[in-house]
Amino acid sequence: MTQTPTPLRSAWIARLGLAVLVAGAIALLAFVATVPLDVVHQLLFSAVVFGIALCLRNRESRLVPLILMALSLVMSTRYMWWRLTETLGFGSLVDLTLGMGLVAAEVYAYLVLVLGYFQVAWPLNRAPVPLPEDRAQWPTVDVLIPTYNEPLSVVRTTILAATVLDWPADKLNIYLLDDGRREEFRAFCEQVGVHYVTRTNNNHAKAGNINAALKKSHGEFVAVFDCDHVPTRSFLQMSMGGFLRDDKLAVVQTPHYFFSADPFERNLGTFGKVPNEGELFYGLLQDGNDLWDATFFCGSCTVLRRAPLEAIGGVAVETVTEDAHTAIRLHKAGWRSAYIPIPQAAGLATESLSAHVGQRIRWARGMAQILRVDNPLLTKGLRFVQRLCYTNAMLHFFYGLPRIIFLTAPLAYLFFGAHVIHASALMILSYALPHILQANLTNVRVQGRHRHLLWNEVYETTLAWYILRPTLMAVINPKLGKFNVTAKGGLVERSYFDAQIARPYLLLLLLNVTGIVVGIVRLVMADTGGESNTIWLNLGWTLYNTIMLGAVIATSSEQRQIRRSHRVPLSMPAVLHLADGRALPCRTLNFSTGGMAVRLDAPEPLQPGTDASIELTNRNRSKHLPVVIRHDRDASGISLQFGELDLEQERWLVTCTFARADIWVQLWGRHDRDTLLRSFGDVFKASLRGFHRLGRFITSGGRRSDAAPPRTGDSA
């Protein structure tokens, strides 16, 4: 009989406790949220609730986030009840049209807030399950690495890392799935000793590529890596144990970690300082989904059990987010999934904002397609909690229209005098401000180490315009659109302002700045008719939108990225051997595929251009790699460039660097907890930089003579 895994027992206990808690909370919430209060009592009630939250927010207890979520839901539900029952008295067609648009956006935001709290109520934080000591009991695994048009310089590190996975050689087969059908890839695979697989067509893109490979491989399990995601040696040992303990487990997902800066991080200067866009999902949401058995396959850094995958017809091909769609089908068939929140691979982020936007468009379109063709709320086989988790994941990508509504809503009053909320400014503040502050305070505590609050506003505002049309069109006709490959390994040779991608936000910025001018003129020169408070309220809202748009403009100012090989921090002992026989003990500072920086234990002047070798040790084995001393950075800091490496030397370099899990674990989730004031200050500074860069672009007459579009090598 299969033993029930400890993580599953813990999950069921937590689910039962949460179910009881939620049932009582809903009954209490329904009462508290609907009690009518005047302005004074509403403000007093809000102050008490906020004071309780402030007292609790820094206490180290797993119950505190739940209490904060409950308090936030009280204030947000009060606000929505008030909005829907007391503020919809529209006096004109303009008021009705614009007002209903704002209400719809607020209802959407409220639903996402509630479902988001549900998702992350109790992150499971699953630990890896140990494997049997007898390696004969370990199963066979096929490692699949799909590629299409990425350059070999990007793919070879992943292939080499796969060849040093800590798994019995007779139970491991590695397949490069080349939809580009390139001879240099075939030759490299033969040289390295991995299987090279092609097909006669490119039907269904990545999903079709994997499905074709399933017919040519036979392992009990399948590990999938995007061709730029370099696995660590411990990947399989960390992820396979759960399968042997639970015979209904079909998917084990690990985080996607990126060792290069994405366009937001590079253009805003936040790399390593602020969590990137994906860290919330892999650092918190997937871990939260795991409690509800709703973790889903993310296309890479994943292991799947072959039998259930083949039983559902392979990887789903009906949508362009084949991974999430495949997970839904596995869950519908009664299989389970798991998430191990420990990075066991690292990859390259997109280099340019345009490529990043293109990738997110595909994700948004695919999630909208799933909502149409396999709606988790309506499809058979999913449990109720799984339906909620999947629905929230899909609803998230519909934020395009609500974001744009929030960016323009105050202009309706400033430009046209339209009352989109039929209530006094003081009454609006008494309900809206507690709702916003309480939600932000809660999210700072819940998400603080994985997403900094206002940066989320910047990310979503930047993408809002571009995901709006694809999501709406996919709902209307899910067959529209096609899979697009995200370019990796490219260069941005010169800084430039991407006016094309910034165009919609330049228009929104112009509208908001004009709205501020109109509002000020109305305050100073016109008869406000007793509505000065309403003007001030809409001016404040418009000013906030302007600050956000300034930060969005900063993301559109592409900064140089001229490194073909990205540097990664690494501290480990090494020995620098000189041609005269001297051996200089040192410690590495960072590395890349092209070179390494070291600090000598004892200062020693060295001549740039000198040939040498660096001795790297791993697991009591050492090898020498040829290097050239390029720059004597200070008395003990040396920059080294690797010489011509043979295949085994290159494999050893990967073994000692990219394939070490401790590197990515040390860099993962190490950000300080966010605060409201610090977040606003950082975004405000980014906004000022955006206006400065926009000013330079305007004063240059919109010329791009100092600019060059991003190069992506062989990538499309």
Which residues are marked as active site? Answer: 179, 323
Give the Å distances, CA to CA, from 526 to 412, 416, 513, 521, 530: 17, 14, 19, 7, 11
Per-residue tokens: 440: 């932000």
Nearest to 443 by CA among 291, 294, 284: 284
Per-residue tokens: 258: 């990126």
185 touches 156 (CB < 8 A):
no
Per-residue tokens: 318: 């009906």
Q: Is 112 exposed, middle or buried (0-12, 13-18, 19+ CB in 10 A)?
A: middle
Rounded Cα distance, 117 and 66, in Å:
9
Give the Å distances, CA to CA, from 59 to 442, 571, 632, 678: 13, 34, 48, 20
Per-residue tokens: 94: 């303009």
Rounded Cα distance, 555 and 706, in Å:
18
Give the Å distances, CA to CA, from 125 to 75, 120, 415, 442: 29, 11, 50, 20
Which residues are CB-neighbours of 79 under 8 A, at least 6 positions away? Answer: 431, 432, 434, 435
Element (H, E) at 681: helix 676-699
Rounded Cα distance, 12 and 23, in Å:
16
Nearest to 199 by CA among 214, 213, 219: 213
Amino acid, single-letter form, for residue 205: A
599 C-beta neighbours (distance < 10 Å), count? 17
Give the Å distances, CA to CA, from 615 to 565, 576, 625: 21, 6, 6
